[in-house]
Structure 1
Amino acid sequence: MPANDTYVSRILQVLDTEPGKVVLTRRDVTLTAEQFTGAVRSAAAVLRRRLGVGSGVTPVVGILTETNTPETLILRYAANLVGATVVHLHTTNAVDPNDRLTADATRRIVEETRMTVLAIDAVNLARARGIRDDVPLPVQLTALGRLGLDVVDLTRGDPAFDESTVPVASDADAVVTYTSGTTGKPKGIAVSFRTRRGFITAGLQQAWRATYLATLPMSHSSGQAADDSLASGGSVILHDGFDAGAVLDAVQQHQVTRLLVSPSQLYLLLDHPAADDADLSSITMLCYTGAPSSPDRLALAAERFGPVLMQVYGTSEAAAISMLTPPEHSDPALLGTAGRPLFAEVRIRAEADGRDLPVGEVGEIVVRSPYLMTRYVSDPELTARTVRDGWLYTGDLGFLDERGYLTICGRRAEVIKANGIKIYPAAVEQALMTHPDIAQAAVFAVVDRDRLEHLHAAVAPHDGHPKPSEDELREHIGARLSVKHMPERIHLRTALPLTGIGKPDKARLAAEASV
């Protein structure tokens, strides 16, 4: 890689060709390409000159902003442009940008990453000062504007700053994203500059320009979608969170071409009363990811929205792994799959001895890809267990069919031994979601005093649909799987609690069912 051929420098080069084009919109605020690139370069110049960023070491810059704001993008780009590692501190939630990290978790991350710079906005000024005063290492506060004598103003740099003079190592950590682990302790997943640059390859090569509506937190995969869209010469519209009505309005107002949603958000769009009359013809890619989906609901969505649906299965550690393309959504037999591996080499391995399993057998999904993480921050043991000989062990269970389509069966830790067999929760959940009245389903184990596992499920109906009885749902499962897959209890709820990545919170459901 040349001295500075980072993903940021490539995006800025694209934006430089049309300085008057509006590339970023949030509420009533718009930024042209010239304004946006000038803000990035100005901040980068100050970071390099005043704070030593880009001087031969790899400092760590924390981003503590309201996540779906222009500041989030500008500050990340500025820090990465001069070779700093960026750590997002707002949330571990990949779905809700309004969900915040606790103060204790934030301080732990600052110390764990040995952060030296904290880039903030006005909303987080008091919080940032408290963090700075509580951690043992000196931390310099910075912001895009004047927030106090103790905060360096990043707008006072040269908007014509020449980033080509700053060498950036391609294998250095570009971004660290913290996600909520099964233990509740956030895990820091580091991704290199080389990998981050690979993410925007599609944007640099595609013939059409994306207009991306960002409702998911820009600190997570939605930020990568924004990078790719800007690299295409397109633009980004920022929303504070997901509201189906607001999304439908924005699609029509801004002629949005690209959306990234969770499955539950896709259903909200499908069910919204304004969806039938809304002009959604501008959409060319409606991507959903993050949780199992109902085949019946996907069929309805494909009929309503047209050949634009795209499912992506991936992990924070491996990025995208497989894809179900828009044409494949017309085949009902494929709607229960996660598509075919397109971005990675995938194998299914036996948990007991690590051997590769044949077609149709369930095992752990392992991945080899140019987009793997570099490491878990401050956890070399977990890194070594997860990445072995270049293969990332996802912890997900699944199988490949004879055509190469991947079906996800759940997490390795979630396999339930009940009724004398191993039960994969995802299979029972898929069966439940084929019932015409069921919108959400979660299958989990409740452990009794003798440490025996009992199969339970929780379901929520579609809005306006009746709640089917437990017996009806058990019979529905038995007809599609077997009598042994029928849960002992099926808890009927109006909605299921969700985790930070938009999946049903099974730990909470199990705890509530145990009471």
Structure 2
Amino acid sequence: MPNVPPHFRSHVEHILDSLLENPDREALVYRNRRVSAGELRALVFRMAWAMQGQGIERGQTVTLLSGNLPEALAARYAANLIGAQVNHLYSELASDVQAAIVRDVETRALVVDPRMTDRAAEITEAVPVKSVLTLGPAGTGEDLLGLAASQSAEPFRSQAQPDAICAIRHTGGTTGHPKGICTTYRQVQAQRAARPVEKDAGSTHRQLVATTIAHAAGMLTDAVLEAGGAVVMLDGFEAGQVLETIERERITHLWLLPPLLYQLLDHPRMEHTDTSSLRQVLYGGCQASPARLADAVRRLGPVLMQGYGQNEAGLISILSPDDHARVERLRSAGKILDGVEVEIRDPAGNALPDGEHGEIVVRSGMVMQGYWKQPQLTAQVLQDGWMHTGDIGFRDGDGYLTVVDRLKDMIVVVGGHVYTTELEDLLNSHPQVRQSAVYGVRNEDRMERVHAAVLLAPGATTSADELRAFVRAERGAMYEPACITFPAELPLTDVGKPDKKELRRRATAHT
């Protein structure tokens, strides 16, 4: 008999297998709904059969326009079972940007949250889509849940191929053409293998998801469901609601971007909330302030863990809870993971020794396939299997990586380079400063000047002149901001990072 290659098992199949092991366990909590593992598994199969009945095939694109819904998660799994690639739109993007993405990824079916049908109508008016499927009754398209209800819950054999695209995630989009990051099923398997394993987590793992499942929270959800845990989903991040949910649901694991962690620490309810159930507070996505991290460790205990990576490059390094006990490590992005190769390179592409600053370049099985339909841009960042991250940093002799800045955020001033994260760390160490964002603004002569937006602590009396003097005394005149503003809050991107493009736009509008 000829050798028959073994069936490739995708990440979705591993998740569905885990759901089958204990079908009565609580898998998803959303508002007043509690969805069992068996119910979720059956819904995924029913949706897969229904999508296939609508003519959706392997290799086509299913685009999700949805908030954090259990049904949106099931739709992603179902589409991946068919072998379709899933693009989940960030709901906060402008409609014209969303429409451009829908057109760009050649959307075969648009799956819509019933709360977003008006936006879906705007998109489909600009870009005709063959199938519009809604996650419940709505005044447009076909009700996917209704279609699924008439289907069998019989298992659907996965059509996924290891080197086919399973996800297209977009980065940017506030200006210019959004970049679609293509991830294959094989790369997701590599990401599964690279995840830190927490001993004896399993069914006691209760993950709170308070950021969009279109981003990192969605990948975390996959990991928790596969491990046998439960995911509590909120529609979005509101610090008071997050604290109330931690206490009520006895949340053990939480994922936040640093600005959201700061909001949690600064909320008046923080001191009166029982957070003793927390075993891990994972953060990442942008630079974190060592001063605020030290405060978080004091108040939450030894539960903080940082993950450094990119959608393009996968996970690169981890700063463990034990590392957080060492103040000198709080500026670090953690220890480079086994199986991940990292080089620090100069502009000419030469590898630099430990301690020297250069671009962080990465090679691993988690690196993306490329940018969707942008071969020239792909060739710029992916060279000989090495991913150029666009981050500046250095590695120490112990294998710890420190990210100093984004290449595009580094400010070139007379006399040298200002690394924005270093200046943010310094400003955040001031006792009257809660948070800051530093960015460069070009003047009429095209020279960059250092600007800082600073959130002050309640009752603060410090002024821009005093903060400039503080910076000058600590780091010298080169780092002294030419302009300091005090907004009521910092603008954030769709995924919760400080929006420096918007800050730069505001600064330019006032000049």
Contact 1:211–1:234, Cα closer than 8 Å, also in 2: yes
Moved more, 245-254 or 379-388: 245-254
**Aligned equivalent of 1:454, options 432, 437, 449:** 449
Write the letter of the residue equivalent to 1:208.
A
CA shift, 1:381, in A, is 0.8
Write the letter of the residue equivalent to 2:63.
G
With the length of structure 1 as denominator, give the TM-score of the two structures.
Answer: 0.91
Distance change >3 Å, CA 446–CA 162, structure 1 → 2 = closer
Distance change >3 Å, CA 101–CA 370, structure 1 → 2 = same
2:132 is matched with 141
| Superposition RMSD in Å | 2.2
| Distance of 2:473 and 2:209 partners within structure 1 | 41
Matching of residue 503 in structure 1 with residue 497 in structure 2? yes
Distance change >3 Å, CA 453–CA 152, structure 1 → 2 = closer
**Aligned equivalent of 1:115, options 97, 107, 110:** 107
CA offsets per residue over residues 27-71 of structure 1, 9 Å max, x none? Answer: 1111111111111000111222441424xxx11111122x21112
Q: SS state of the match for residue 456, structure 1?
A: strand
Q: SS state of the match for residue 408, structure 2?
A: helix
2:60 is matched with 59
Contact 1:204–1:232, Cα closer than 8 Å, also in 2: no
| Distance of 1:458 and 1:263 partners within structure 2 | 16
| Distance of 1:447 and 1:2 partners within structure 2 | 58
2:316 is matched with 321
| Distance of 2:476 and 2:379 partners within structure 1 | 39
| Distance of 1:126 and 1:483 partners within structure 2 | 52
Distance change >3 Å, CA 124–CA 245, structure 1 → 2 = closer
Contact 1:132–1:139, Cα closer than 8 Å, also in 2: no
**Aligned equivalent of 1:207, options 196, 200, 205:** 200
CA offsets per residue over residues 281-314 of structure 1, 9 Å max, x none? Answer: 2211101112222212111110111111011122
Matching of residue 27 in structure 1 with residue 31 in structure 2? yes
Distance change >3 Å, CA 383–CA 70, structure 1 → 2 = same
Distance change >3 Å, CA 223–CA 302, structure 1 → 2 = same
**Aligned equivalent of 1:160, options 150, 153, 158:** 153
CA offsets per residue over residues 370-420 of structure 1, 9 Å max, x none? Answer: 111111112111111111111110111111223222222211122222232
| Distance of 2:505 and 2:126 partners within structure 1 | 34
Q: SS state of the match for residue 107, structure 2?
A: coil
| Distance of 1:144 and 1:487 partners within structure 2 | 49
1:95 is matched with none
| Distance of 1:231 and 1:356 partners within structure 2 | 39
Matches within 5 A, 1:27-106: 27-54=31-58, 58-65=59-66, 67-89=67-89, 91=90, 99-106=91-98
1:178 is matched with 170
1:474 is matched with 468
| Distance of 1:9 and 1:433 partners within structure 2 | 45
Matching of residue 491 in structure 1 with residue 495 in structure 2? no
| Distance of 1:432 and 1:397 partners within structure 2 | 20
CA shift, 1:184, in A, is 4.3
Moved more, 280-289 or 497-506: 497-506
Write the letter of the residue equivalent to 2:61.
V
1:408 is matched with 403
2:286 is matched with 291
Contact 1:144–1:155, Cα closer than 8 Å, also in 2: no
CA shift, 1:513, in A, is 3.3
Matches within 5 A, 1:392-407: 392-407=387-402
With the length of structure 2 as denominator, give the TM-score of the two structures.
Answer: 0.92
| Distance of 2:197 and 2:151 partners within structure 1 | 27
| Distance of 2:55 and 2:291 partners within structure 1 | 55
| Distance of 1:264 and 1:502 partners within structure 2 | 7
Write the letter of the residue equivalent to 1:32.
S
Matches within 5 A, 1:216-255: 216-255=211-250
Consecutive unaligned residues of structure 2, counting only runs of 5 or more, are none
CA shift, 1:86, in A, is 0.7
| Distance of 2:225 and 2:12 partners within structure 1 | 10
CA shift, 1:368, in A, is 1.0
| Distance of 1:325 and 1:461 partners within structure 2 | 30
Q: SS state of the match for residue 314, structure 1?
A: strand
CA shift, 1:145, in A, is 4.5
| Distance of 1:513 and 1:442 partners within structure 2 | 13
Contact 1:26–1:239, Cα closer than 8 Å, also in 2: yes
CA offsets per residue over residues 468-500 of structure 1, 9 Å max, x none? Answer: 223332233234323322223323333322233
| Distance of 1:223 and 1:386 partners within structure 2 | 25
| Distance of 2:60 and 2:210 partners within structure 1 | 30
CA shift, 1:150, in A, is 4.8
Matching of residue 361 in structure 1 with residue 356 in structure 2? yes
CA shift, 1:149, in A, is 8.7
Contact 2:114–2:137, Cα closer than 8 Å, also in 1: no
Write the letter of the residue equivalent to 1:207.
D
Q: Percent identity?
A: 37
Matching of residue 124 in structure 1 with residue 116 in structure 2? yes
CA shift, 1:152, in A, is 5.7
Distance change >3 Å, CA 125–CA 277, structure 1 → 2 = closer
Matches within 5 A, 1:326-337: 326-337=321-332
1:417 is matched with 412
Moved more, 24-33 or 412-421: 412-421
Contact 2:191–2:315, Cα closer than 8 Å, also in 1: no
Write the letter of the residue equivalent to 2:153.
A
Contact 1:423–1:485, Cα closer than 8 Å, also in 2: yes
